[in-house]
Amino acid sequence: MPDQFPKILEILLKDRASGRHIVWATDDYQELGDGYRAPQEMALDLIKKEGGDVIQPRSVKDQQNQLNRTKEKAEVFTPPWVCNAQNNLVDRAWFGREGIFNWESREGWTTNRNKIPFEDKGEKTWQNYVDSLRMEMACGEAPYLVSRYDAVSGAWIPVADRVGLLDRKLRVVCENAKDESEWYRWVLRAYQSIYGFEYQGDSLFLARENLLYTFMDYLDCQFGRRASFEELKEIAVIISWNLWQMDGLTFALPRLEGETGEPTYCVIKDWQAVRWKKKGILEYRSLIRNEGADNG
């Protein structure tokens, strides 16, 4: 993230349920000082300490740190070929056929370079695909949503060969939008349609950064320009709502040090309801309860 956009980073650190920053929720950084302990909020000056990035992707962490996080937090990052295979199953269900975005192979996958076909009207238009909801649970650095790099090896993946759920939506927008205005409008809707949650604050922050950088990557590829502050701000706000910090068992936020009383439960935004000028803020756990009731 360019240093001239500290306000964007502040948005990416924001927790929408509590109004504070997201919490470290890991002791991996506590040797750096008191502000880095698990029950502390993540502060921008601590993340960008002395001009460097304190938080690094899992692929560049030392092996012992990776093993400890796997043992203590069940953190295992998925290679992109596995993400691709599972995302292909999602698209096979939506399109009703295989080989939409790529073909799986021993080397990983071969990208379909042809324009993705859609119906002109009905339920299978490109706009409906972009609006279709997707979610990655315990998302880590969000490899199922955006595949900027191999989450295991750290190897860079070119924009044209990315396989994330959001990557696929952005490709569809790039192939179908008539002009830059329409492109940006549907990119916003693509971001509004994907969700994810993560407990550990450092992984969540990386996931949010990855989604923001993804916007910058596609904008540069499509129009050969850099994103404006206002564009980054609008995308960052969506990301801060749609990727949130949560204990997947309790649906609550990590507690701050000394915090007592009732837990703070996570909230999400229904952007479609907002577009219809309805109240779109919901407690995530209410959706789980409703789903259970519907299923008897």
**Whether pTM exceeds 0.75:** yes
Q: What pLDDT was estimated at residue 71? A: 45
Question: Residues 270-291: pLDDT tens digits?
Answer: 999 999 888 899 999 998 876 5
**Cβ–Cβ < 8 Å for 73, 200:** yes
292 alpha carbon, distance to own chain's centre: 26
**Domains of the chain by residue range:** 6-294
pLDDT band for 50, please (50, 70, 90 cuts). Answer: low
Mean pLDDT of 208-233: 97
Question: Residues 23-40: pLDDT tens digits?
Answer: 999 999 999 999 999 999
Q: What pLDDT was estimated at residue 217? A: 98
CA dist 139 and 188 (Å) reads 20
CA dist 201 and 245 (Å) reads 7
Amino acid residing at 288:
I
**Cβ–Cβ < 8 Å for 158, 171:** no
If you average pLDDT over every residue of the chain, what do you get?
Answer: 90
Q: What pLDDT was estimated at residue 101? A: 98
Question: Residues 88-137: pLDDT tens digits?
Answer: 999 999 999 999 999 998 889 999 999 999 999 999 999 999 999 999 99
More confident residue, 84 or 47: 84
CA dist 74 and 93 (Å) reads 29
Helix (H) or strand (E) holding 80: helix 80-95
Instruction: Please state, in angstroms and as integers, the Cα–Cα distance from residue 154 to each residue in 3, 80, 137, 141, 221, following that order.
Output: 23, 11, 21, 12, 21
From the list 242, 154, 150, 258, the residue with the least C-alpha distance to 198 is 242
Q: What pLDDT was estimated at residue 277? A: 84
Is the pLDDT at 3 greater than 80, yes or no? no
More confident residue, 273 or 296: 273
Q: What pLDDT was estimated at residue 61? A: 56
Q: What pLDDT was estimated at residue 73? A: 53
Residue 226 tokens read as 């850099």
Q: Which long-range contacts (CB under 8 A, 24 or more apart) does 97-102 make?
A: 101/163, 101/168, 101/171, 102/161, 102/163
Q: What is the DSSP letter of 110?
A: E
Q: What pLDDT was estimated at residue 293? A: 43
Q: What sign does the dihedral 107-160-217-81 (CA atoms) show?
A: negative
From the list 213, 247, 258, 255, the residue with the least C-alpha distance to 232 is 213
**Cβ–Cβ < 8 Å for 174, 162:** no
Q: How many CA atoms lie within 13 A of 266 on its CB side?
A: 28
CA dist 142 and 204 (Å) reads 8
